[in-house]
Chains A and B, each alone.
Chain A
Amino acid sequence: MTHIIICLLFLVCELNHSVTSVFPESSLLIMLGFILGGIVWGADKAQTFKLIPTNFFYYLLPQIILDASYCMPNKLFFSNLGAILIHAIIGTCWNAGTVGIALWACYEGGAMGNLNIGPLQFLLFGALISAVDPVAVIAVFEEVHVNEVLYILVFGESLLNDGVTVVLYNVFDAFVSLGGPKINAAEIIKGIVSFFVVAFGGSFLGVVFAILISMLTRITKNVQVIEAGFIIVLGYLSYLTAEMLSLSAILSITFCGVCCQKYINANMDEKSVTTLRYTLKVMANGSETMIFVFLGVSAIDKNIWVWNTGFILLTIFFVVIFRFIGVFFLNWILNQSRLIPIDITDQFVMAYGGLRGAVAYGLAALLDEKKIPEKNLMLGTTLIVVYFTVILQGITMKPLVQWLKVKKATHSDLTLNGKMNNRAFEHILTAMEDICGRMGDNWWTRHWNYFEDKYVCWLLLKSDARKHKDPIFGAFHKLNLEDATKYVTEGERKGSLDFIRNYDSASVDFKKKLALEYGDITPYITGIDNVPVTSVMKNPIPSVSLDIHEQDRKSLPDKLSAHHLLDQHLYKSRRDNRPTYSRSHYNTSENPDEMQEIFQRTMRSRLESFKSAKMGVNPAKKLSKHPKKDSTHKPNGKPADPHRTHPYGDEDFEFSADSASSSEIAGHFHRRSTNTPGAGVDNPAFIPEMDTSPPMRNPPWQTETGNNTAVAPSQRAQGRLPWTSTNLRHLALLRMSTRSTDSFVMADASLDEEAPEEKPGTHHTRL
């Protein structure tokens, strides 16, 4: 019955947005709980509906954590992991210690009257009240859209501090049982060791389950309908297992969700992913609602209330004060080494957002009355602290954020310019870091990515998922499908689908979305295949723009196609997607094919300019392209022979700066002699002293010194590096001679005949 009432009232509240804009949902639910509790109390004279700790910890909490961790922005999380851990561990210990000691000091000072309490019990109370609660944080911060960094810091802290809380609670509980005198150094050391065991054990268990889940999704192709169910069950299992082993269950389920999301999203069908996401959300929301209502209901119980003004007020006061002190102090330390220091306003919100919630209540309810005679007092105080933080701080959070002008979450619609420039900046920064020679951050991340590519993905991803590992590809595909359906819907709306079949008369006059005269749309109806649209539409750049639903800001189709293109094809820099304040991990997938390609291009362009300098030919402005050569870089499987002297680079030679030369490799050799202006002419400028007047792009650094380590390939390119010492010297010799360009051609030809012609693009061997 309660549940029905809850659902109905939940719906009512949802509909009434004006109320929810002021009161966060959680506080409304608590008040609802009060009312309900009042009703039940009035009916039964006893509180039959209480939040029993077991129910809470086993049935209500896990879903919320699983949902939160599954939807966690991983990059952000791991890049701020240092800060999060410091706050979670040190911050929580600080809170627990200071609150406990301060309360005890006040007790000794007589501020609370007569209580049957000892210092250890104060510490225990401090431990259970110090934990920032993930449920409350989610509930309140959901309404207030602060910037991602701030959110992840508070939220991450609330998740990871469970390890500390559990340990502290258990340790102090044990101490209380032992009694004061028996505590000696051995016990304390045991306590510290138990922290490491609990925390790391819990996390490790979570990772193990993540691996299990990922491997499971590899083989569930035939039971896709219930794939989502497997994951929920296994996630819950990780929670229970950790609980059973007395490890930190929240940490376990958190890491399970965090680690497996990438792989299961890749392995599972899109529909399953959607199902999973929605199911988790439903369960999490339901649990959250129930938790808050129960929190309210539990208050209406005469039996538990022991009112001690001093205790209660002092608790609230200390909790708030020490939270602020702790946060500011720790952030000050962190800011010394972060690239992007945390703003003071952000810090304030962080401190203010240290909400206590149901976890604290659950832990308080678990207290043993025999050991702790003042359990009811603590319980009552905990409830009041929870109400204070959730209701009061929750309500005032939004106005506070607005007043402080905290940076909100940015929903920037990136322009093409922005995208291109962002990528360019990444490349620039990577280059600068290389020039500076400092590789601190990159070392770890590169090795992790290498490890991941080589072993982890092989183990955890399905074979076809592995091929399409690029997340951009998935997004591209999805957007393409969306485009296609919208295109068709629009066409149907306008009346006829004729234009799809007949492109010449594509005179459908859709309303232009933006005030742009230039609507170059190339709708990718072809979908995944990267077949250039020119094959589909006769007019490569039609002046049609699709009219998409006005409300949907994001679907600006005239931009979308260009966006897709950029997204899919921009070379990834090593810093790809890494926020620059990262200190450690980021997840790039260094594509060896891409690197090889870039390397070849660079070498090619250097050779071109070197050659043109020698021949006195200016490189043409328009560069040659290879449109259809390689739509996909298929792994060749051919083992690279490092000792083979490829005339590889000489093939590149053929792609001279002539604009006219096409990408046809087969015909290149013949064409070249006809296309190159002045090829047959004895170029008087072609004398050895040419190399002393190098233009900027002249790559004498490759040939002159004969220093073959000049362009030492990375470990990846090693096996496939076309340039070997013999080739380089070959070129140097050629250049030094006064032979005419004809002989050059002949030299190239001879080199070329040596080895079979291969398309440069297919040279790659997948690592």
Chain B
Amino acid sequence: MGSTSSTLLKIPNVEVLMQETGFSPAHMIRLHDRFKALDKEGRGHLCPQDFGAIKELAMNPIGDRIIGAFFCPGKETVDFHTFVKILAHFRPVDKNRPKEPNSPEPINSRSNKLRFAFQLYDQDKDGKISRDELLKVLQAMLGMQVTEEQLESIADRTIQEADLDRDDAISFEEFRKSLEKVNIDHKMSIRFLR
């Protein structure tokens, strides 16, 4: 146990991190190790290059967007803090957590998970998924056999299903509503991050 505590100390602000994200010390150490493994040049922060080195991400249709989600707008590097915070979105929801009245919502709450997904769609960060943004996502996720018109009709249909205030864009609230019945806790959680 001595080694774990010393490793923990090497991570700056680890207590604050653990509190914010809810990760256990073991997870923090594992994530830190992974961070260091990704950070091949030992700079202490990651750049898109390092993410690009993960070969499976290239096989992911929305891999680039996900990489982008790690980078705050304007910044080009990801430090460990941000890395862990983003990953904290995918912790399974802690059902037994006592609900303190004034504490901020935990990062892995359902709403925050949804917000993460929403931000992947909404690239220009205007709070709405426009038809074009939706088109782009669909295009990324659909195969080559789909024609332009079919794509557009699907996008139109999709917006129509979710768009309640008829502004031809999906706001976060509408997004959330359209996914009411979906079990976000399952679909946006990774087991080994519990």
Contacts and interface: CB of A to CB of B under 8 A. Distances in A.
Interface stretch (B6-14, B57-65, B97-105): B57-65
A301 B66 CA distance: 71
A559 B160 CA distance: 11
A629 B144 CA distance: 8
Contact of B187 (A429, A534, A571): A429
Nearest to B71: A696
B54 interface: yes
A434 B191 CA distance: 13
B15 interface: no
A340 B183 CA distance: 11
B182 A418 contact: yes
Name the residue among B66, B138, B145, B192 with the largest chain A CB count within 10 angstroms. Answer: B145
Interface string B31-64: 1001001100000000111111111111111111
Nearest to B53: A710
A421 B179 contact: yes
A415 B182 CA distance: 11
Given A436-B31, A581-B186, A626 B144 contact: yes
A581 B55 contact: no
Nearest to A593: B143
A570 B157 contact: no
Contacts of A541: 149, 153
B37 A437 contact: yes
B189 interface: yes
Interface stretch (A23-31, A37-45, A701-709): A701-709
A518 B148 contact: no
Interface stretch (A9-17, A61-69, A600-608): A600-608
B139 interface: yes
Interface range, B side: 35 or more
A434 B132 contact: no
A436 B143 CA distance: 27
Nearest to B134: A420
Interface string A403-417: 000000000100111
A431 B57 contact: yes
A430 interface: yes
Contact of A423 (B141, B148, B162): B141
Contacts of B192: 436, 438, 440
Interface residues of A, number: 88
B77 to A, nearest CB: 11
B59 A598 contact: yes
B182 A606 contact: no
B120 interface: yes
Name the residue among B48, B137, B181 with the largest chain A CB count within 10 angstroms. Answer: B48
B142 interface: yes
Given A436-B190, A714-B59, A701 B52 contact: yes
Nearest to A605: B64
B189 A697 contact: no
10 contacts: A416-B161, A418-B181, A424-B117, A435-B54, A436-B190, A522-B150, A534-B149, A566-B154, A571-B143, A626-B144
Query: Can you list the 7 inter-chain pairs with the closest CB atoms, starting with the nearest?
Result: A701-B49, A701-B52, A339-B191, A434-B56, A569-B143, A425-B187, A627-B147
Interface of B: 31, 34, 37-38, 47-64, 66, 68, 71, 76, 87, 90, 92, 117, 120-121, 132, 136-151, 153-154, 156-158, 160-162, 178-179, 181-182, 186-194
Given A428-B188, A432-B87, A705-B49, 17 more contacts: A339-B92, A416-B154, A416-B157, A417-B178, A422-B182, A424-B121, A424-B141, A431-B57, A435-B38, A437-B34, A562-B157, A580-B190, A594-B143, A623-B139, A625-B139, A625-B151, A697-B68
